[in-house]
């Protein structure tokens, strides 16, 4: 009896498994892939740190990933950077939406203010992610049609670093520097006169203090003593007046006779 060829049997088994997995991918994989919605986002600033495969989140919930980043030159000697993302069908409530239903749903979210924003995933590595949320206070900036891109567009808002950079650019640093230089120049010109006036004022104060603590101090002491004597005399007269008012007969008999 001929012994079966084990290698041949193993080859048939492997080939059969490949056919089974291929059939599964052919019948079900395409259906799942079609449910993904590819969207494009245009960020105004730099996308440094945003790599292919980076996560896309909606309020912290993962809903997709970055699929492609391109460079498109325009007519103004500038470069536009479209970022393509693939939205997971699990973003919906039941995950059973068709491709067209998901597109309509995302469009509806965009009309209610859905926008994308770059967020720092790691400060150490500088990796970035895309955060989706509602920002109705920002204007809707759509560029896909301008560059003949048919994918569904999600508008964007500036990242925190972009906003800081824009605010710094609005500060008139040249004017502030010119004003500071003018102030320092005026201060250098007026400083000698100010120091001279301060010295004269200090000398005047010292002379006044010396005159008060000199011979004039005796006069001031005598004046204070005279004021105290006058005050004591006034008190004595007041007491005598009160006594005579209560005892008028003392004017005839004297205080001791009474």
Contacts of 128 (CB under 8 A, 6+ apart): 47, 48, 49, 50, 54, 118, 119, 120, 121
Q: pLDDT band for position 78 (50/70/90)?
A: confident
Strand, helix or coil at 172? coil
Query: Would you say 49 and 128 are in contact if contact means Cβ atoms under 8 Å apart?
Result: yes
Contacts of 42 (CB under 8 A, 6+ apart): 80, 81, 82, 83, 141, 143, 144, 153, 155, 156
Instruction: Determine how β-strand 128-134 pairs with β-strand 55-58.
Output: parallel
Query: Would you say 56 and 62 are in contact if contact means Cβ atoms under 8 Å apart?
Result: yes
pLDDT in tens, 98-115: 778 888 889 999 999 999
Query: Would you say 41 and 159 are in contact if contact means Cβ atoms under 8 Å apart?
Result: no
Res 31: pLDDT: 47
CA-derived radius of gyration, the chain: 48
pLDDT in tens, 45-64: 788 899 999 999 998 889 99
Res 54: pLDDT: 94
Nearest to 81 by CA among 37, 143, 131: 143
Phi, psi of 95, deg, nearest 5: 70, 15
Mean pLDDT (the chain, rounded): 75
More confident residue, 194 or 222: 194
Compute the average pLDDT of residues 143-155: 90
More confident residue, 237 or 17: 17
Sheet arrangement for strand 128-134: 114-120, 128-134, 55-58, 61-69, 82-87, 37-42, 152-153
Strand partners of residue 114: 134
Q: pLDDT band for position 32 (50/70/90)?
A: very low
The structure's pTM equals: 0.53
Contacts of 246 (CB under 8 A, 6+ apart): none
Alpha helices in 1-153 (DSSP H): 6-24, 30-35, 99-111
Compute the average pLDDT of residues 215-242: 63
Nearest to 49 by CA among 129, 110, 103, 113: 129
């Amino acid at each position: 009896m001929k012994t079966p060829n084990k290698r041949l049997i193993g080859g048939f088994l492997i080939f059969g498994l490949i056919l089974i997995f291929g059939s599964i991918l052919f019948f079900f994989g395409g259906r799942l892939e079609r449910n993904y919605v590819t969207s494009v986002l245009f960020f105004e600033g730099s996308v440094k740190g945003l790599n292919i495969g980076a996560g896309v989140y909606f309020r912290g919930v993962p809903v997709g990933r970055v699929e492609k980043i391109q460079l498109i030159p325009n007519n103004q000697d500038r470069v536009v950077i479209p970022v393509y993302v693939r939205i997971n069908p699990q973003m919906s409530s039941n995950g059973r939406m068709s491709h067209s239903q998901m597109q309509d749903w995302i469009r509806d979210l965009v009309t209610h203010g859905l926008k994308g924003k770059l967020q720092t995933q790691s400060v150490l590595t500088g990796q970035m992610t895309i955060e989706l949320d509602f920002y109705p206070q920002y204007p809707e900036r759509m560029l896909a049609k301008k560059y003949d891109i048919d994918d569904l567009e999600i508008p964007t808002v500036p990242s925190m670093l972009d906003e800081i950079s824009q605010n710094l650019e609005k500060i008139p640093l040249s004017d502030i520097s010119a004003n500071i230089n003018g102030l320092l120049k005026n201060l250098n010109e007026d400083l000698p006169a100010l120091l001279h006036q301060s010295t004269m004022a200090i000398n005047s104060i010292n002379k006044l203090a010396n005159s008060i603590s000199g011979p004039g101090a005796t006069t001031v002491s005598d004046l204070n003593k005279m004021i105290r004597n006058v005050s004591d005399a006034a008190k004595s007269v007041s007491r005598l007046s009160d006594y005579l008012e209560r005892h008028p007969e003392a004017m005839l008999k004297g205080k001791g006779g009474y």
